[in-house]
Chains A and B, each alone.
Chain A
Amino acid sequence: MIELIPFINILILIIFSFTIIIIKKDKIVKFMSLISNLAVFILSIFLLIQVLDNGTLLLNLGKSSSLLGIQFYVGPMEAVLSVVFTFVMLMILWFSYSSIENEISKSRISFFYILINLLLASLLGVIYSNDLFNSYVFIEVSTLSACGLIILKDKKENIKATIKYLIMSTIGSGLVLMAIAYVYSITGHLNISSINEVIISSYQNHNNAVLIILGLFTVGLGIKSAVFPLHSWLPDAHSSAPTPASAALSALVIKVYVFMLIKVLFRMFSYEIINDFIIMDIILLLGSMGMIFGSIMAIFQKELKRMVAYSSVAQMGYIVFGIGLGTVSGTAIAVYHIIGHAVTKSSLFLISGLFIEKTSSKKIEDLKGIGKEMPITLGLFTIGAFSMVGIPILPGFISKWYLSLTCIEVGRVPLILIILASSLLNVLYYFPIIINGYFGNENLEGKIYKSKKIELKRLMPVFLLVIAMILIGAFSSRLIDLF
């Protein structure tokens, strides 16, 4: 029974999402989405325990090597990711129950929950799949449901952002599909493990084809995961979406594609093959540029959500950077950063949503003195920002530390400067918000203490996310050892 959990997870989410369609009452819709996500979260924990006890779990649906065969592969990375993703999604849902009415019209609320369920199902699908075509299908489902989530708000900017996103990610999907076709034509397989077996023995005969495949995968998945300089859709999409949706998009969706890239690079090919190709240096370069330019662009943003969105571009840079180092430890840090950033960024986005709701302004400059009006909320934001800046023990610091050590390990010491410069740049855009929020007489004048307080009930999910973030930092070495 337990080995079926990956399948059951996806099944539960999809079945519930299609049941929600026929239900009219919002309360029941919310309840059902809660039940399904809670169930998936608990099952994921069981799955993790199972994987930790018995090692990697392979689930065959149909024949594994034939064209139609679907295989799920759940190693420690996948199991941990699915626990974290379902947890974050659960918190986002919890948050949305009290806030979603403020952002989207009442008639569309059930759509929101349908799409969220579908989105999580497809994300888990991409994580679990050990089959290229199956992954591709799930990628498409996730893109479409993400588009749906952005456009739910029905404003001009949302429609523009969605079209932009749709076009860009369709290009991405097309490139991925082409890459899959190439792989199939060379190896005759779609199963990642089978491809690996074939490719290890024969890749030298297809040097150019392998390079093309790698390029297509990198660019295709790079567009979807907003790797600099392919990120231009992200700030619009993530800043215009309803707050819970932006949190889900920034924290989870873009991460999945990058995880897919990890699978392609290191499981379908292997570390030995990959390091023969120039592609790793390019990935490293893209990551470095993302870390620096994402942060620089974030500094110039006037709107809070756009700033946080650009910060995501920078953080994706860290993940891609870790991949680009091309070692086992680099990949482990990349996956660790996926986890740490999922928790951090979702809490930051949810808090930004609260600020925007209470001040009814998107502008950063209207947040002056917010620390007096919403002290606890800004306090949580501060902890998240500390992680981004890299205060020890918080996940952001851990990622930077291990990334730097890996840089030394592979003999690329100057790259550490990029990591450190990026964390200094993070200071420049996160700290002004905190400083102007808490300090400065001109900022605090006329503000009434706790006048915009948020009920504890609504803050609870953010609290839990921040606690999870601290725990992820505190137990970092155990997590990284798993990968």
Chain B
Amino acid sequence: MDIFILIPVLLPIIAGFSLLVFKPNYNKRNLIVISTTIINLIFVLFVVILKKDTSFHIVRINEFLDLYFMPDNVGKIFAALVSTLWVFTVFYAIDYMGKNSNLNKFFMFFLITEGITIGIALSGNLITLYLFYELLTLSTFPLVIEKGSEKALQAGKKYLIYSFFGATMVLFGIILLFSQTQNLSFIPGGVIESMPISNPEFYLLIYLLLFLGFGVKAALVPFHSWLPSAMVAPTPVSSLLHAVAVVKSGIFALGRMTYYILGWEVIEYTGGNDYMLILVLITILMGSFLAIHQENLKKRLAYSTISQLGYIMLGLVIFENSSYLGGFLHMIFHATIKITLFFCVGAIMHYENKTELHEIEGIGKKMPKTMLSFTVASICLIGIPPMNGFVSKWFLAIGGLEKNNYIVPIILLLSALLTAAYLIPIITTAFFKGKPAHDVKVSEPNNFMLIPIIVLAAVNVILGFFPNAIITMIQIAASKLF
């Protein structure tokens, strides 16, 4: 029953193409899209719970073009995260996108992207991951330019060029690596058997190429500028791009590369992670600082994403058990938090047609539940105990201290302050400015939109109180690495 593992990848892709072929009307299309994502979630959970770490070969052309899937704990968590958040987004997107009839193409790519992202999660070697990584660029591109305006096309082009540039660097790295190891499978601890004593520079080059290449999708400074531009996409898309699909695929690929291909010991030997640590710290600070200056709410969240991705990448450049754990936790928590924030901002955009900070005065009185959810998610992101953001940042700080790297906790604290500085104004403007409460008629979003927002906000709180199940799963993965 190994072939079972193909279903989570293929089902959304097939369902996506079926939209193109059958051209269903509004109701049928919604039914197909919703049922596909829910069924897929069930299949993914099946795989997560039932599958042992066995590999499944799709095609094996030769020793390098060997496409196969191998779900380990890391991949399983990512796949579960992706498919869960996709379900929420589908409900949200159906309301957000409206009854426009020619959205079949949009939802087609929407579903295909889910399949491809799960493909990234379950990939068993670097070449399979690279294939899905390229496909992800191609399948998300139509989503980014869904509005079809000149500005959207420009942003899309930027996205495409950045992504292909990154992928090309990755390919260069893969080629160099393959010439040395002849093996690209994901093995805990890396595929390099002995320390590269004779040519550490060569491995340093490989590491830098791979890190910077995958870093493009992970919005590593200086390759981050596609992400704010891509904000022209409809909100469900930007929330997905930010929370799970694209940037997290970049992070996930970085994790695979660091811990399962090169191996952290080799990287530490070459010293490459020290250079990258500098870039990561810059990413954290620069994202936060830029976010403060953004009037546009979506852009503000976009820069916030860049900063938060830096946190996650800390777990990839500081090789400590706690850092790994903290980074991984933050990848999950940031996904649920950021998607909530985006959903709230999107709801304001959709129902009130307001996009700028000064426009939303008093919106908290009009949409109290939405803005309350936003507040909860903001507190989580700032990292006030006992919210989930605190848990992950705690482990990240500990990891830095264990390495005797005192600058890491300092920057974490500073950035937490900055996070507060760019999120709190939104909340205060929404609740405490504008007309008094009794003058405002409450009008919350449609349930399709509101329920995902509230549920996700609740999930954030619950994850903060009970992170242990996830921590245990990550610890199992980490125990093979450290």
Cβ contact within 8 Å between A408 and B175: yes
Asked whether A22 is an interface residue with its Cβ less than 8 Å from the other chain, the reply is no
Cβ contact within 8 Å between A392 and B153: no
Cβ contact within 8 Å between A404 and B147: no
- Not counting A390-B171, A420-B172, a sample of 16 additional A-B residue pairs whose C-beta atoms are within 8 angstroms of each other reads A391-B131, A392-B130, A393-B65, A398-B65, A405-B178, A408-B175, A408-B176, A408-B179, A413-B176, A424-B164, A424-B165, A427-B164, A440-B149, A440-B150, A440-B153, A477-B61
Q: Quick one: which of A410-448 are within 8 Å of B by CB? A: 413, 416-417, 420, 423-424, 427-428, 431, 435, 438-444
Asked whether B59 is an interface residue with its Cβ less than 8 Å from the other chain, the reply is yes
Residues of A within 8 A of B61 (CB): 393, 474-477
Cβ contact within 8 Å between B164 and A405: no
Report the minimum CB–CB distance from B200 to chain A (whole Å): 16
Report the minimum CB–CB distance from A387 to chain B (whole Å): 13
Known contacts A417-B172, A431-B160, A435-B157; A440/B179 CB under 8 A = no
Asked whether B145 is an interface residue with its Cβ less than 8 Å from the other chain, the reply is yes
Cβ 8 A contact of B65, one of A405, A423, A431, A477 = A477
Q: Quick one: which of A359-390 are within 8 Å of B by CB? A: 389-390
Residues of A within 8 A of B119 (CB): none
Cβ 8 A contact of B147, one of A401, A409, A417, A441 = A441
The contact string, 1 if C-beta is below 8 Å from chain A, for chain B 415-450, is: 000000000000000000000000000000000000
Report the minimum CB–CB distance from B60 to chain A (whole Å): 10
Asked whether B64 is an interface residue with its Cβ less than 8 Å from the other chain, the reply is yes
Residues of A within 8 A of B150 (CB): 440, 442
Known contacts A392-B134, A416-B172, A474-B59; A435/B156 CB under 8 A = yes
In the A-B complex, the 8 residue pairs with the smallest Cβ-Cβ separation, listed nearest first, are: A441-B148, A477-B62, A408-B179, A404-B175, A392-B131, A420-B168, A440-B148, A427-B164
Residue of B nearest to A432 (CB): B157
Known contacts A393-B131, A440-B148, A441-B149; A423/B168 CB under 8 A = yes
Residues of B within 8 A of A409 (CB): 179
Residues of B within 8 A of A416 (CB): 172, 175-176
Chain B interface SS verdict (over half): helix
Report the minimum CB–CB distance from B19 to chain A (whole Å): 14
In the bound complex, CA of A280 to CA of B242 (Å): 49
Known contacts A391-B134, A444-B148, A474-B61; A438/B168 CB under 8 A = no
Residues of A within 8 A of B127 (CB): 392
Cβ contact within 8 Å between B148 and A442: yes
Residues of A within 8 A of B130 (CB): 392
Q: Quick one: which of B153-192 are within 8 Å of A by CB? A: 153, 156-157, 160-161, 164-165, 168, 171-172, 175-176, 178-179
Report the minimum CB–CB distance from A318 to chain B (whole Å): 15
Residue of B nearest to A404 (CB): B175
Cβ contact within 8 Å between A424 and B131: no
Residues of A within 8 A of B409 (CB): none
Residue of A nearest to B202 (CB): A413
Residues of B within 8 A of A441 (CB): 147-149
Report the minimum CB–CB distance from B280 to chain A (whole Å): 25
Cβ 8 A contact of B179, one of A389, A390, A405, A420 = A405
Cβ 8 A contact of B145, one of A390, A417, A439, A477 = A439
